Chains A and B, each alone.
Chain A
Amino acid sequence: MKAVKILNGNQTIAEAARQINPDVVAAYPITPSTAIVETIAQFKADGMISSEFVCPESEHSAMSVCIGAAAAGGRVMTATSSQGLALMWEMLYIAAGLRLPVVAAIVNRALSAPINIHGDHSDTMGARDSGWIQIYSENCQEAYDNFIQAFRIGEHLDVRTPVLVGLDGFIISHSAEPVLIEDDREVRSFIGEFKPVFPLLDTSRKITVGPIDFTDYYFEHKRSQIEGIENSPRVIEEVGREYGQKFGRFYGFFEEYRMDDAETAIVVMSSAAGTGKDAIDELRSEGLRIGLLKPRVFRPFPHEKIAEALKKIKAVAVLDRASSPGAFGAPLFTEIRSALYDYGQRPKIVNYVYGLGGRDINVEHFKEVAAKLQKIAETGKVEEMLGYLNLRE
């Protein structure tokens, strides 16, 4: 039976994992995602899941186990954060290159040094070229919905690409909220049976997985891998629509909040979007025509759709919870600015890095951004394109 439960982000992911009952779960504990691993281990200990639960000696091995298990021919998941994802880095590319639809819940956390356990997006942004599909969640409900959809997206035969679902460390992972947990059977029927492609365990058909490519084949194989993620937008849309039809919550590439007649807009992902929406409401009540756009899918980047949504706005601020040292702007900003390049009519655009190492962002900070956007919209001039929010300088 479906039921509203009070769960934090980690419990929510574990609950989804219980319903999905993947064939193999391989994960290593790390703050703030540890509770996902612990809860799944307890489900196994209590006989509530029939998954093989493997607790490897490192995240590198956790992803290696996922790769071996997925190549063997079944449904596989893991969870990690920050340094754990960084340690998996080598294997992320290999999971994608071997076209293995592993699903990972990533509780976003800052990367060392300095060591810090709190939420920002530097971990997953560091993995943005690894070939994984990346979906971000604003709250526990979205984390739950995204995680379930991730299996359908990654396992689709036209896609066959690993998927990570991001949720902000502590802000989401450790904050309890009411979450609508759907009926177990309904979730399972939505996910469907796993369809193995050239599984190692079919020993009647001997295959060589992961041979060496030289100059004569590597490029074509990488191109064919890229085709998988290029096929994914259609699948992401279909799955988001089907999920909505079945469970009542529809998902696309991004969410537009009060964007209809907006003159200025703030683009922000994940948990900060919730705060941002409150700020938008207050600003709207003060008479400002401002909206918010919350990207959900970062890879594949929905460049055309986002550009269409933003092209008529006068001034846009992109808020990034990660930095890209030495680059011309942080990751989300560079994507969006590049997406707008071909449009004759396009907004003035600025970038703010916020919230590194879990630094709070509140309504006042959004209002600060809104005031700057208002000035840009009025004057048509950008004084400072790249800046920081809530930072002592």
Chain B
Amino acid sequence: MAKLKDLAQMEDRLVAGHGMCLGCGIPLIFKIILRATEDPLIIANATGCLEVCTTIFPRTAWNVSWIHSAFENAASTIAGVEAMYKALKNKGKIPADKKIKFLGVGGDGGTYDIGLQALSGAVERGHEFVYVCYDNNVYANTGGQRSSATPLGASATTAPSGSKSPGKIQGRKDLAQIMVAHKIPYVAQASPHRWQDLYNKAKKAFEAVGPAFLNVLCLCPTEWKYDESKGIKLAQLAADTCVWPLYEVENGRYKINYKPKQKKPVLEWLESQGRFRHLFKEENAWIIEKIQQDVDRDWEWLTRLAEISSRP
């Protein structure tokens, strides 16, 4: 078990001075994840908030080797770095005992949408790398457009609520399940409010033999529209309402890492953020009902998968 005191003493690999919004979940997430390995690390970062805010030339907030090439290809870029590592090791140009960890990172736009193909290809080929998606449910870097991770009923600038629209009328793509379907050794969903769980999952991901995937809920006060001091409580609420279940799939076996004693109604989650404000109009009541049904269905399904996995 990692102690917070010990983690705090570790060198920061993403240092202060970046330009991310007040209350943004990204630095919080990566400060924990980047402590989960002590090996040298190389990161490929998709275009997005993290990339833009940390590397405005001539400054960089990265205290680790890092590359950005484009939006949709963090996975194939890190795959290339990893392939060269293997090649140079085989040729004896890198010492046989030198360990390096490889990490691809992107937001939900760069991962669920435009980068899905590259991610699928890279994990199918079995490159040794970890991919972390910081999922804030929206294209935040370009100012709040819908992604396939934007939930049902949220208002986004390309799926806005209006007199004839309740916001986004489609639900979220289940990316973690898509990654599970690739039969990779480790897939997990995590959230920054349970830092120990996030740390453990990142550690397992770095130690997995083969590709590993983490989907991390990323707080976004700018686009979710809430008081930025309430972020961690909001993450807790996402887990308590089962909107964002915390679970892991290790070699195909499901384990739920947090079960709320009393599942809270999604209403509390929806009330907490401005992006759902319009749902409280009478004509949109059916959306709230639908969201609750979807969450219940998904939670039920996940619970069953965990039950099946627990059988010998």
Which residues of B line the A interface, CB within 8 A? 40-42, 44, 51-52, 55-58, 60, 62-70, 72-73, 75-88, 90-91, 93-94, 100, 117-118, 120-122, 124-125
Shortest beta-carbon distance from A64 to chain B in Å: 4
Chain B CB within 10 Å, residue with most, of A55, A71, A211: A211
Q: CA–CA, A60 to B68, complex, Å?
A: 15
Q: How far is the CB of A316 from chain B (nearest CB, A)?
A: 41
Given contacts A52-B90, A57-B118, A71-B80, 11 further A-B contacts (CB under 8 A): A24-B83, A50-B87, A50-B91, A54-B80, A56-B76, A61-B122, A66-B80, A72-B84, A91-B73, A201-B65, A201-B81
The 4 closest A-B pairs by CB, nearest first: A68-B80, A57-B121, A211-B55, A72-B84
Contact of A203 among B76, B93, B100 (CB under 8 A): B100
Q: Contacts A26-B83, A68-B84: A206 and B70 contacting too (C-beta < 8 A)?
A: no
Residues of A within 8 A of B118 (CB): 57-58, 60-61, 64
Q: Does A208 contact B (CB under 8 A)?
A: yes
Chain A residues lying within 8 Å of B87, measured Cβ to Cβ, are 23-24, 50-52, 69, 74
Listed stretches A110-118, A135-143, A212-220, A373-381; interface member: A212-220
- Measured between beta carbons, the chain A residues less than 8 angstroms from B66 are 206-209
* From A65, A212, A217, contact of B83 by CB (8 A): A65
State the interface size on chain A (CB cutoff 8 A): 42
A-B contact pairs, 30 of them (CB 8 A): A26-B83, A54-B80, A56-B122, A57-B117, A57-B120, A58-B121, A61-B117, A61-B122, A64-B73, A64-B80, A67-B77, A68-B69, A69-B81, A69-B84, A73-B84, A74-B88, A76-B80, A91-B70, A200-B67, A201-B81, A201-B88, A201-B100, A203-B41, A206-B63, A206-B65, A206-B66, A209-B68, A211-B56, A211-B68, A214-B57
Beyond A56-B125, A201-B84, whether A61 also contacts B73 by CB under 8 A is yes
Flag whether A259 is at the interface (Cβ < 8 A). Answer: no
Interface centre among B41, B83, B120 (most CB of A within 10 A): B83
- Closest beta carbon of chain A to B72's beta carbon, Å: 7
Considering the complex, which residues of chain A in the window 48-96 have a beta carbon less than 8 Å from any beta carbon of chain B? 50-52, 54-58, 60-61, 64-74, 76, 90-91, 94
| Contact partners of B75 in chain A: CB under 8 A | 61
Q: Which residues of B contact A191 (CB under 8 A)?
A: none
Query: Does A98 reach chain B (CB closer than 8 Å)?
Result: yes
Please tell me which one of the listed residues A65, A211, A212 contacts residue B80 in the complex, with CB atoms under 8 A apart.
A65
A211–B60 CB distance below 8 A: yes
Q: In angstroms, how far is the closest chain B Cβ from the Cβ of A34? A: 18
Give Cα distance in the complex from A138 to B305, angstroms.
61
Question: Which A residues are in CB contact (< 8 Å) with B90?
Answer: 50, 52
Which residue of B has the minimal Cβ distance to A193?
Answer: B93
Report the separation of the CA atoms of residues A67 and B78 in the bound assembly, to the nearest whole angstrom.
9
Instruction: State which of A51, A64, A203 has its C-beta within 8 Å of the C-beta of B65.
Output: A203
**B56 partner residues in chain A, CB cutoff 8 A:** 211-212, 214
Do B42 and A212 touch across chains, with their CB atoms under 8 A apart?
no
Give Cα A90 to B118, complex, Å.
14
Q: Does A287 contact B (CB under 8 A)?
A: no
A68 touches B55 (CB 8 A): no
Could you tell me if A54 and B52 are in contact, using CB atoms closer than 8 angstroms? no
